């Protein structure tokens, strides 16, 4: 059972990206960001609740300090028992003690109930801000950032807000306020010695706790690294069991696992020992403080300066201060991690997109759908040149095919048209409008894409098709599905449009997924249709069915089709043959075959492959 738990833990560890740099976090900056968020206009509606929560926190601390004083007065009333002292004196004092103590505990509970919506809304607001910001970042960022790590940054950063509120604003901070109140009450009511003892004791308690916790953080890091290593070795060996058995390495892998677990056990032992040391040190300081408080109070009582109840009062006051400090070590470690999480979230929010709308960008105007690449050059990071001096025109309503060997720049051409990247030089125009001068939203609203691998959301067919136009009604949905040769398939399903397609559309075949992508593009009704090797992953029979759907989608639109199978673009108005980022050839299918150049070679090669016995697309 233990091994299963370890394996599950390791699987999650392996699947979740780890941070490469050690945790760092500016505590003051994190706190400033938290208060800035709470005081922002988006949180304006919660300000009465914030004020009420602060008032309830202060009330709780006032009653926490005054409750022991009432208890002490009750004890004094019992011990003195003078003729003038009525029996109701100590009863009333104890009633006040009970009421004050209840309010010191009940007020924070009421505060938490009032403040819960504020905390949740603050987390929601920060998570939505981060999610929306990340959505707007350029495609280059998303290609280099691991999705799991990004999700963790957003989630942990949002949860850090709640942690700061609960453990700093409503725990550590109020404890400092309580200490100051207690010191003032003890100094006024019982003498200057008591606030000195309280402040010195709490200071020693806090400093020693923070020092040992810093040490324990390093030990915990060593323990976690050893745990990850042991878990990773176990998973690696069990996943590759055939290799292990083939080399008769069962004993070797067991010894390696034992070695890793030994290191983990040593690290865990040191961590547990450090925890025992921390608890013992805290108990020692706490009890020394209580001893000093009791001895001084007892000495004063012996000399008639204080009553017996006053001894109980000062002791209870100090114990009340200790109570929230019991979690100081754990809270400090978690608050520091929360500061790190919040810092990483704000670092993400500070990232600016590589491609942004120009100042004064306007919406793209519909003037027919003609596209022009004018001496466009672009290179990906680490490459000399991906696109080099590309110039061509796509007349409005025309069908243009693009082909070429792998790495010729076909996909880069499409990304530039979508303005996922900006060219290093040259310009791209749609209907005479430079796409750098129009808004990205209006540009992409006029582009419909059917990629090689249509990725669907884990939702219904309705939701996936309707992604092309969220406002479309069912009649429009089914019309698009029919034009995409998908309508009959949907009507045969027991749940019709409400059928769930599974993760990334895994419940559908390749052809069905492609037709959903075509239906989505048709529903969007774009000015330009982009086909990125939309049938290259399909078998011949399915390809013919999808080609019918694509032909329907292309009617009346400017269409740009990148193709691996040349047969899919043989009927194009023009074909651009790319090689090393340049246009090597251009013309119709017949013209390119007559040239007997690169296109003709590619055509013959595909024809020979298709005609080989046992070979089919």
Q: What span, in angstroms and rounded, lies between the C-alpha atoms of 509 and 465?
A: 16
Are 420 and 547 contained in the same domain?
yes
Task: Give yes or no: residues 441 and 465 share one domain.
Answer: no
| Helix spans in 326-457 (H) | 328-350, 410-417, 440-445
DSSP, res 424: S
Residue 114 tokens read as: 């009032």
Q: Is residue 328 part of a domain?
A: no
For residue 334, tell me if it sits in a domain.
no
Which has the closest alpha carbon to 545: 519, 512, 585, 508? 512
Look at residue 26 in the predicted model and tell me its pLDDT. Answer: 66
Indicate whether 147 belongs to any domain.
yes
Residue 427 lies in a domain: yes
- H helix and E strand count, the chain: 21, 10
The verdict on 464 and 361 lying in the same domain is no
User: 190, 224, 255: which is the final residue of a domain?
Assistant: 190
* Calpha distance 51→57 (Å, rounded): 10
Domain-embedded: residue 18:
no
Last residue of a domain, one of 271, 305, 339: 305
Same domain, 436 and 531: yes
Domain annotation covers residue 451: no
Q: Which CATH number fits the domain that encloses residue 482?
A: 3.40.50.300
Question: In degrees rounded to 5, what are phi and psi of residue 364?
Answer: -70, 130
> 368: which DSSP letter?
S
Domain count, the chain: 4
**In contact, 363 and 427? CB cutoff 8 Å:** no
- How many CA atoms lie less than 13 Å away from 8 in the CB half-sphere? 4
Do both 262 and 380 map to the same domain? no
pLDDT at 6: 34
Residues of the chain with pLDDT under 70: 1-26, 81-87, 140, 143-149, 381-385, 535-543, 545, 609-617
Residue that finishes a domain, picked among 190, 207, 235: 190
Are 292 and 360 found together in one domain?
no
Predicted local confidence at residue 232, as pLDDT:
76
Are 67 and 142 in a shared domain?
yes
60 shares its domain with 95: yes
- Per-residue model confidence (pLDDT) at position 614: 45
Whether residue 178 is found in the same domain as residue 262: no
102 & 162 share domain: yes
In a domain, 96, yes or no: yes
Per-residue tokens: 430: 């749609």
- The parent domain of residue 462 ranges over 456-525
294 & 230 share domain: yes
Specify whether 62 is located in the same domain as 182: yes
Which pLDDT score is estimated for 172?
Answer: 76
- Which tokens sit at 45? 């509606």
Is residue 148 situated within a structural domain? yes
């Amino acid at each position: 059972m233990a091994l299963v738990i370890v394996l599950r833990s390791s699987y999650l560890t392996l699947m979740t990206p780890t941070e490469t740099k050690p945790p760092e976090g500016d505590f003051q900056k994190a706190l400033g960001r938290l208060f800035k968020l709470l005081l922002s206009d988006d949180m304006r509606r919660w300000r009465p609740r914030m004020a009420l929560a602060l008032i309830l926190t202060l009330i709780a601390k006032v009653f926490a300090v005054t409750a022991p004083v009432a208890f002490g007065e009750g004890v004094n009333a019992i011990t003195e028992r003078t003729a003038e002292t009525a029996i109701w004196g100590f009863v009333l004092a104890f009633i006040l003690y009970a009421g004050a103590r209840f309010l010191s505990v009940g007020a924070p509970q009421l505060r938490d109930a009032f403040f819960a919506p504020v905390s949740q809304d603050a987390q929601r607001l920060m998570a939505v801000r981060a999610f929306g910001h990340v959505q707007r970042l350029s495609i280059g960022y998303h290609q280099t950032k691991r999705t799991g790590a990004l999700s963790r940054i957003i989630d942990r950063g949002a949860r850090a807000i709640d942690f700061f509120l609960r453990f700093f604003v409503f725990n550590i901070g109020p404890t400092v306020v309580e200490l100051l109140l207690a010191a003032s009450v003890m100094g006024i009511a019982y003498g200057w010695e008591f606030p000195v003892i309280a402040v010195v004791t709490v200071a020693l308690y806090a400093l020693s706790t923070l020092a040992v916790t810093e040490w324990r953080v390093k030990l915990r890091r060593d323990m976690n690294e050893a745990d990850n290593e042991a878990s990773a070795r176990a998973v690696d060996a069990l996943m590759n069991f055939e290799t292990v058995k083939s080399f008769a390495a069962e004993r070797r892998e067991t010894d390696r696992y034992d070695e890793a677990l030994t290191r983990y056990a040593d690290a865990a032992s040191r961590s547990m020992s450090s925890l025992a040391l921390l608890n013992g040190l805290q108990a020692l300081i706490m009890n020394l403080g209580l001893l000093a408080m009791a001895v001084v109070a007892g000495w004063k009582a012996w000399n008639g300066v204080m009553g017996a109840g006053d001894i109980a009062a000062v002791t209870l006051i100090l114990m009340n201060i200790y109570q929230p400090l019991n979690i100081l070590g754990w809270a400090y470690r978690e608050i520091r991690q929360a500061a790190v999480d919040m810092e990483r979230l704000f670092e993400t929010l500070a990232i600016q997109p590589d491609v942004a709308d120009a100042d004064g960008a306007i919406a793209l105007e519909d003037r027919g759908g003609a596209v022009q690449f004018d001496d466009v050059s672009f290179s990906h990071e680490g490459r000399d040149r991906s696109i080099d001096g590309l110039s061509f025109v796509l007349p409005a309503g025309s069908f243009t095919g693009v082909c070429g060997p792998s790495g010729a720049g076909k996909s880069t051409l499409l990304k530039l048209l979508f303005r996922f990247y900006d060219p290093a030089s040259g310009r791209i125009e749609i209907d005479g409008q430079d796409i750098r001068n129009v808004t990205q939203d209006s540009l992409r609203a006029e582009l419909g894409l059917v990629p090689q691998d249509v990725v669907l959301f884990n939702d219904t067919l309705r939701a996936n098709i309707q992604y092309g136009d969220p406002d479309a009604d069912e009649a429009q949905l089914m019309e698009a599905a029919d034009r995409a040769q998908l309508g009959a398939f949907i009507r045969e399903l027991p749940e019709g449009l409400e059928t769930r397609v599974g993760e990334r559309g895994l419940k559908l075949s390749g052809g069905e997924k492609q037709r959903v992508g075509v239906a989505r593009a048709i529903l969007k009704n774009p000015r330009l249709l982009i086909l990125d090797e939309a049938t290259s992953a399909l078998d011949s029979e399915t390809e013919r069915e999808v080609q019918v759907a694509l032909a329907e989608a292309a009617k009346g639109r400017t269409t740009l089709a990148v193709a691996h199978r040349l047969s899919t673009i043989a009927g194009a108005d023009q074909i651009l043959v790319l090689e090393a980022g340049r246009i090597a050839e251009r013309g119709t299918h017949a013209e390119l075959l007559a040239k007997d150049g690169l296109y003709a070679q590619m055509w013959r090669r595909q024809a020979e492959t298709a005609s080989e016995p046992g070979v089919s697309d």
